[in-house]
Amino acid sequence: MTNRMIITGGNRLFGQVRISGAKNAGLVLMAASILAEGETILDNLPRIRDVEVMTQILNELGVVTRWNPDDSLSILVPEGRLNCTTSYELAKKLRASNLLMGALLGRQGEAVISLPGGCDIGSRPMDLHIKGVQALGAATVIEHGYIYAQSHKPGGARVYLDFPSVGATENIMMMASRTPGVSVIENAAKEPEIVDLANFLNSMGARIRGAGTDVIKVEGVSQLRPCRYAIIPDRIEAGTYMVAAAITGGEVKVQNIIPMHLHPISAKLQETGAYVEECDEGILVRAGEKILPVDIKTLPYPGFPTDMQSQMMALLCCSQGSSVIVENVFENRFQIVDELKRMGANIKVEGHTAIVEGQPCLYGARVKATDLRAGAALVLAALAARGETVIDDAGHVFRGYEKMPEKLTRLGAVVRTE
Contacting residues toward ligand EPZ, per CB under 6 A? 23-24, 27, 96, 122, 124-129, 163, 165-168, 306-307, 329-330, 372-373, 400
* Minimal distance, residue 77 CB to ligand EPZ, in Å: 21
Q: Identify whether the C-beta of residue 209 lies closer than 8 Å to the C-beta of residue 183.
A: no
* Minimal distance, residue 116 CB to ligand EPZ, in Å: 9
CA distance 221 to 175: 11
* Minimal distance, residue 190 CB to ligand EPZ, in Å: 10
Q: Which is nearer to ligand EPZ, 48 or 365 (CB)?
A: 48
> Length of the chain in residues, anyone?
418
* Minimal distance, residue 399 CB to ligand EPZ, in Å: 9
Q: Identify whether the C-beta of residue 211 lies closer than 8 Å to the C-beta of residue 185.
A: no
Q: Which is nearer to ligand EPZ, 251 or 307 (CB)?
A: 307
CA distance 64 to 163: 35
Q: Identify whether the C-beta of residue 312 lies closer than 8 Å to the C-beta of residue 283.
A: no
* Minimal distance, residue 44 CB to ligand EPZ, in Å: 16
* Minimal distance, residue 14 CB to ligand EPZ, in Å: 27
* Minimal distance, residue 311 CB to ligand EPZ, in Å: 11
- Hey, what amino acid is at 155? G
Q: Identify whether the C-beta of residue 224 lies closer than 8 Å to the C-beta of residue 216.
A: no
Q: Which is nearer to ligand EPZ, 128 or 174 (CB)?
A: 128
Q: Which is nearer to ligand EPZ, 127 or 418 (CB)?
A: 127
**CB closest to ligand EPZ, residue no:** 167
CA distance 308 to 304: 8
CA distance 55 to 53: 5
Q: Which is nearer to ligand EPZ, 27 or 312 (CB)?
A: 27
CA neighbours closer than 13 Å in the CB half-sphere of residue 285:
32
Listed residue (30, 24, 67, 400) closest to 200, CA to CA? 30
Strand extents, DSSP E, 249-387: 251-255, 275-279, 282-286, 296-297, 322-326, 346-350, 353-357, 366-368
Q: Which is nearer to ligand EPZ, 135 or 166 (CB)?
A: 166
Q: Which is nearer to ligand EPZ, 27 or 411 (CB)?
A: 27
Q: Given the DSSP bridges, would you call strands 110-114 and 85-86 parallel, antiparallel or unpaired?
A: parallel
Using DSSP's 3-state secondary structure scheme, residue 210 falls into coil
Q: Given the DSSP bridges, would you call strands 251-255 and 414-417 parallel, antiparallel or unpaired?
A: unpaired
Q: Evaluate the omega torsion of the peptide bond into residue 302 and state whether it is cis, within 30 degrees of 0.
A: yes
CB neighbour class for 2 (10 Å; exposed up to 12, middle 13-18, buried from 19): exposed
Q: Identify whether the C-beta of residue 379 lies closer than 8 Å to the C-beta of residue 396.
A: no
Per the annotation, the verdict on 227 as an active-site residue is no
* Minimal distance, residue 122 CB to ligand EPZ, in Å: 5
Query: Catalytic residue among 119, 227, 279, 318, which?
Result: 119
Q: Count the Cβ atoms, other than its own, within 10 Å of residue 298.
A: 21
Angle 141-197-109 from CA coordinates, rounded to 5°: 30
Q: Which is nearer to ligand EPZ, 291 or 377 (CB)?
A: 377
Q: Identify whether the C-beta of residue 102 lies closer than 8 Å to the C-beta of residue 128.
A: no
Catalytic residue IDs:
119
